[in-house]
Amino acid sequence: MKNKKAFLYGIASCLTFLTHLAWAGFSVNNGQLVDSNGNPFVMRGVNHAHTWFTSNTQAITDIAGTGANTVRIVLSNGTQWSRNSGSEVGNLIQLCKSNSLICILEVHDSTGYPEQTTATHISSATSYWLSSDIKSAIQGQEDYIIINIANEPFGNGVSATDYVDDHIDAINALRAGGITHTLMVTAGNWGQDWQYFLRDNASTILYADPQQNVIFDVHMYEVFGNASAIQNYMQTFANNGLVLVVGEFGASHNGNNVDEDAIMQNAEQLGFGYLGWSWSGNGPCCTDLDIVNGWNPNNLSSWGNRLIHGANGIKETSVAASVYGGDGNGASSQCTWTDGTVWPMCSTDVGGWGWENSQSCVSQSICP
């Protein structure tokens, strides 16, 4: 009996090892998002509304220039806006990789369903990820991308049961279809979760995933206008050992205050990610949410200056994913140059370009 137990234990260990290999990429471990090297990764980044500005891919390089380690990219499955194809998605992923950015891809067409009458159900977003051209573009990129199933997939007026069950159905469909990436689930109530459907049911959604590889996304706008609301919300996820990302936020929204200082401070203290909305191109209602004015990386808005250069901001707290050479102490063995080229970082700072290991390297002091 003892030998039989040892034999069975060995089989189980092998299966666990093989399963881990099958899930190469990001994963959730002990309440942390970890990359494929097993190192914790905390998102510090920016949203880019690609699907409405498809020719403006320079924005991704410019976002990397802020020191961001992540970009969240708006895509369309074709139900509200022009569909972004697999080849287009593949090019975006390569741009992210060339700029040492982790790429979060999201389908925006479900925003506010069914309150927004033109929005489509989360099942349509699920079908997009499983379509042959998109699936071909994202498979094999698990080390570099995270799939945000659908942006703000429900508005108001739906039940908690519908919110939870429809997300579980989407996750199971993606897993059955061979998608092994870390999945990101966004809150309802137009992302702000004022009814707490996400906060109170996140554990149920996580454990319904056969891989238990799900992180959670709240959008903090006017519902989060004071520090106590922000701290209480984030602390609940921390207490439950869940990974939370503030996937969108600004300094104001629709003329209402947002406590961006508290968002960034609490995210830093709890090890949660944040992604400012958005690089540029917001309409007349929301120009105060533009991080740069007129797509010009040298013309930061007041919001952009706060996000990038302020306390607990991107410059101060962003660490590259270790798949790009970052380490747990904020150092990097690589430098992304201004043209997007990735160069080795010199081990000794010579104040310029150097030569090590039979190749050119860049001194940390001149790395942009």
Does any domain span residue 17?
Answer: no
pLDDT of residue 181: 98
Task: Please check whether residue 39 lies inside any domain of the structure.
Answer: yes
Same domain, yes or no, for 45 and 101? yes
Statement to judge: residues 251 and 360 lie in one domain: no
| In a shared domain, residues 189 and 40 | yes
Number of domains in the chain: 2
What is the rounded distance in angstroms from the CA atom of residue 100 to the CA atom of residue 320? 7
On whether both 55 and 176 belong to a single domain, the answer is yes
* Residue 88 located in a structural domain: yes
Active site residue 222: no
Catalytic residue flag (residue 248): yes
Q: Annotated catalytic residue: which of 88, 106, 142, 152?
A: 152
Mean pLDDT, each 10-residue run in order, the chain (368 residues): 42 41 78 95 98 97 97 98 98 97 98 97 98 98 98 97 98 98 98 98 98 98 96 98 98 91 98 98 93 98 98 97 70 62 65 72 75
Query: Any idea what the CATH number is for the domain that residue 204 is in?
Result: 3.20.20.80
Give residue 232's domain range. 27-321
Contacts of 124 (CB under 8 A, 6+ apart): 77, 79, 107, 109, 110
CA–CA distance, 191 with 247 (Å, rounded to integer): 9
H, E, C per residue of 89-145: HHHHHHHHHHCCCEEEEEECCCCCCCCCCCCCCHHHHHHHHHCHHHHHHHCCCCCCE
Catalytic residue among 142, 248, 316, 356: 248
Residues 145 and 93 in one domain: yes
DSSP 76: -
Distance (Å, rounded) from C-alpha 238 to C-alpha 335? 33
Q: pLDDT tens digit string along 133-158?
A: 999 999 999 999 999 999 999 999 99
Question: At what angle are helices 122-130 and 160-176 packed, to 10 degrees?
Answer: 10
Answer whether residue 287 is part of any domain. yes
Q: Are residues 348 and 291 in the same domain?
A: no
Residue 291 lies in a domain: yes
The 10 Å Cβ neighbour count of residue 325 is: 17
